[in-house]
Structure 1
Amino acid sequence: MAARDFGKMGINTQLAHAGNVPGDYFGFVNPPVVHGSTVLFPDAATMAARAQKYTYGTRGTPTTDALAEAMNTLEGSTGTIIVPSGLAAVTVPLLAFLSAGDHALIVDSVYGPTRLFANTMLKRLGIEVEYYDPNIGAGIAALMRANTRVVFTESPGSNTFEIQDVPAIAKVAREAGAVVMMDNTWATPLYFKPLDHGVDVSIHAATKYPAGHSDVLLGTVSANKECWPRLHEAFLALGCCAGPDDVYQVLRGLRTMGVRLEHHRKSALDIARWLETQPGVARVLHPALESHPGHKLWKRDFCGSSGIFSIVLAGGGQKHAHAFLDALQIFGLGYSWGGFESLAVHVYLGDRTITGGSYEGPLIRLQIGLEDVDDIKADIARGLKAAAAV
């Protein structure tokens, strides 16, 4: 069979075939799941020179290479590392590019565990962490210092869904010699390609949409040509590698991510528009809605929206939020998202320094699953009724 260049083909074609060469594995459609630590060498000279593709399990296997190559096709990256969780996908590149005495700028609407890592581990390592407003755009120039080494972005923001002007931030940061990182879990490479917008390192919690079934923890980190060697070096030094069964599960989930994500997108947007008309809802925080403050930026840079957004209840406090959640029958009460099932959680913003904000009532984050839209709407209506009755 002739060599295939999937990078120039449609996204669902890429998802179906990238990272897989059946001819390498006797024609089997899926690559093998390689369980291995020790790799044997044919002779002492080959061993001394490490002159073969695979040398030890932590340094890569055909299974991890298949997923990494697929992600490189989707991200347009030079290299991708596979790590055991989405949080590890955040921590490994931060450790790779930061040293004692460095200054890191991190968006204030960042994923909560990222903030915890920054406020504990990074600070203990002598790294100064500063949070910035997600709406800062090119104004981030005022925060750049001679020792600023990393600018960390996440767009939309975790839980509150602010849209960052990533190209403007990246331009300023890179001109100052800083590495730009982005947690792109919400959009996936299907709806936003960070490296095409000036980002150096793209981070993804593959636990979410690539895995898609709420049963796997995994993370991917993809880098451009300039940053790949240092990222890969840190990955090897830390020994933070994922198990082959989890890698295989994500690779299998990747094949259907396009059709699943499109269903999430359509259902979530339908429900978000409906929620804007419902009593008891003060605001809907979904970037694809025209009412969203960052909608123009989202429309400029993104080509789709995923299945997670937040709503602000019209007044009340924790009792109202709990009444809403406890009345739900289809939605599960649980963390994470990107699986087939709808989930809801009461959002906590107490750890933020800039964007805690003043909201009309409690924030509820909704992950819209693959259930029928009418059933989901009925369930949300049940929750809104219960909250109003408190």
Structure 2
Amino acid sequence: MSKSRPLSPPAAASDTPAVSRPGAEAAAPCTTSTELIHHPYVPPAGFQALVPAVHKASTVVFPNVAALRARNWKDKTGYTYGLHGTPTTFTLEERIATLEGGRQTLLAPSGLAAILLTFAALLKQGDEVLIPDNAYGPAKELARHELAGWGIAHRFYDPMQPAEALAGLISERTRLLWLEAPGSVTMEFPDLQGLVRAGRARGVLTGLDNTWGAGLAFNPFVLGTRDEPLGVDLSVQALTKYPSGGADLLMGSVTTRDEDLHLKLKFTHMRLGLGVGANDVEAVLRSLPSVALRYAAQDRAAREVAAFLQQRPEVVQLLHPAFAGSPGHEHWARHCAAAAGLFSVVFDARYAPEQVDAFVDALRLFKIGYSWGGAVSLAVPYEVPSMRKTGWPHAGGLVRFSIGLERPEDLIADLGQALARLQG
């Protein structure tokens, strides 16, 4: 039974006569701030709804000092401080872990923050990380600047070389092998199984940027066979993309299966103060039940749009892992049945960079902007040679497309009119 509101205390006696106003009764005593702050009402238990509740807190209160001293935030058996978790954040972490095929998940303020958390937790001065040359650009910049300033070395490797070649790069200083599937912008799909095998043979941890896969295209923790069970040690996602689906928030996650590795990450997560807002967590929780439907719809639409562009004379190379002829297609086919709504095309070299830019400017339904995974289709031109150390075989300009939830035929019509302007 809920507690009732206490009676207001009687008004104090006073020698000063009350001033009356014509037609007005005596005013009720004012409610004090203390009454409002310490109001005893507690709503009845047992409320259940389809959507998880949103719990916002920095301070978490305890019934007594013994509880304060005994409560443990590390294993999700209790709450100690808002930064260490609330029912809302714990719920999203558990659901992302299930989506990824892992056992534990930590949330971070962005996908890049999740990568930073991984690097900071697993690397120290004198260590080295190997990063694919086609990885997400800000992750490479993080290695070039912050990691280098902390005395942590890095090397960029070509992920499309035979996995055996990686063994020659791993040294006694190498502590982490970073993976991305497919590569950012240029969309090559590496031999994940071979790369993980090479890292495991040398005792090196493997981490995967799985934002493209979103836990739906393949299970990053099950890459091998029954006779040779292979999988990454940790999987990172930018929940900003498909799990959110709204292009309106930033969030990242790090998922593991190993309890000791999870705790190592969790202590660093605590010391770095990587919190996320409850309203953003609520938004992801609301979108998550539809992520598989949206991912499949955007996959189908992207393949339809990509097939159109592949046939155009202006395009010399389609970069979409699900299409034969795209670099690493055979690796994609080994692990995946699905693909994200993301691909790139390389234009014929006869079109100057400014012409490719004009093509993008001419698009009407496609908006120009970074990120992907939302309902609105996007297009961004890139100068790939300035982004790569290893060889890039194309001379023409590249445009990356993120397909949203518009009708594919409408997007194809938009591309057709922009290509006509390119020809003109």
TM over 0.5, yes or no? yes
Partner of residue 287, structure 1? 321
What is the deviation of 1:359?
1.2
Partner of residue 352, structure 1? 388
Asked if structure 2 preserves the Cα contact closer than 8 Å seen for 1:288 and 1:295, the reply is yes
Mean CA deviation greater in 314-323 or 277-286: 314-323
Q: Which structure would you say has the larger Rg? A: 2
Corresponding position: 1:275 with 2:293: no
Aligned letter for 2:215?
P
Asked if structure 2 preserves the Cα contact closer than 8 Å seen for 1:25 and 1:31, the reply is no
What is the deviation of 1:25?
6.5
Corresponding position: 1:376 with 2:411: yes
CA distance in 2, matches of 1:127, 1:333: 36
Q: Which runs of 5+ in 2 are unaligned?
A: 1-44, 224-230
Aligned letter for 1:313?
F
What is the deviation of 1:273?
1.4
Aligned letter for 1:104?
V
Q: Which runs of 5+ in 1 are unaligned?
A: 1-23
Asked if structure 1 preserves the Cα contact closer than 8 Å seen for 2:179 and 2:208, the reply is yes
Partner of residue 260, structure 1? 294
What is the deviation of 1:28?
1.3
Partner of residue 164, structure 2? 138
CA distance in 1, matches of 2:327, 2:134: 15
2:138 to 92, 113, 117: 113
What is the deviation of 1:178?
1.3
Partner secondary structure for residue 195 of structure 1 = coil
Partner of residue 360, structure 2? 325
Corresponding position: 1:177 with 2:213: no
Asked if structure 2 preserves the Cα contact closer than 8 Å seen for 1:320 and 1:388, the reply is no
1:40 to 44, 61, 64: 61
Aligned letter for 2:238?
A
Identity across the alignment (%): 39
Partner of residue 112, structure 2? 87
Q: Which has the higher helix share?
A: 1
Partner secondary structure for residue 190 of structure 1 = coil
Residue correspondence of structure 1 range 190-209 to structure 2 within 5 A = 190-197=216-223, 198-209=231-242
Partner of residue 21, structure 2? none
CA distance in 1, matches of 2:257, 2:328: 27
Mean CA deviation greater in 49-58 or 114-123: 49-58
Asked if structure 1 preserves the Cα contact closer than 8 Å seen for 2:191 and 2:328, the reply is no
What is the deviation of 1:40?
0.8
Partner secondary structure for residue 175 of structure 2 = strand
CA distance in 2, matches of 1:234, 1:302: 33
Asked if structure 1 preserves the Cα contact closer than 8 Å seen for 2:192 and 2:331, the reply is no
CA distance in 2, matches of 1:77, 1:177: 21
Asked if structure 2 preserves the Cα contact closer than 8 Å seen for 1:69 and 1:80, the reply is yes
Mean CA deviation greater in 316-325 or 126-135: 316-325
Partner secondary structure for residue 366 of structure 1 = strand
CA distance in 1, matches of 2:70, 2:121: 26
TM-score by length of 1: 0.91
Query: 1:81–1:351: structure 2 CA closer, same or farther, 3 Å change rule?
Result: same
Query: 1:345–1:60: structure 2 CA closer, same or farther, 3 Å change rule?
Result: same
1:301 to 335, 338, 358: 335
Partner secondary structure for residue 356 of structure 2 = helix
* RMSD, aligned CA: 1.3
CA distance in 2, matches of 1:55, 1:317: 59
TM-score by length of 2: 0.84
Asked if structure 2 preserves the Cα contact closer than 8 Å seen for 1:334 and 1:344, the reply is yes
What is the deviation of 1:140?
0.8
Aligned residues: 365
What is the deviation of 1:278?
1.0
Partner secondary structure for residue 53 of structure 2 = coil
CA distance in 1, matches of 2:422, 2:168: 43
Partner of residue 16, structure 1? none
Partner secondary structure for residue 376 of structure 1 = helix
Partner of residue 401, structure 2? 366
Per-residue deviation, residues 127-157 of structure 1 (Å, max 9, x unmatched):
1110000113232111010110000000100
Query: 1:48–1:160: structure 2 CA closer, same or farther, 3 Å change rule?
Result: same
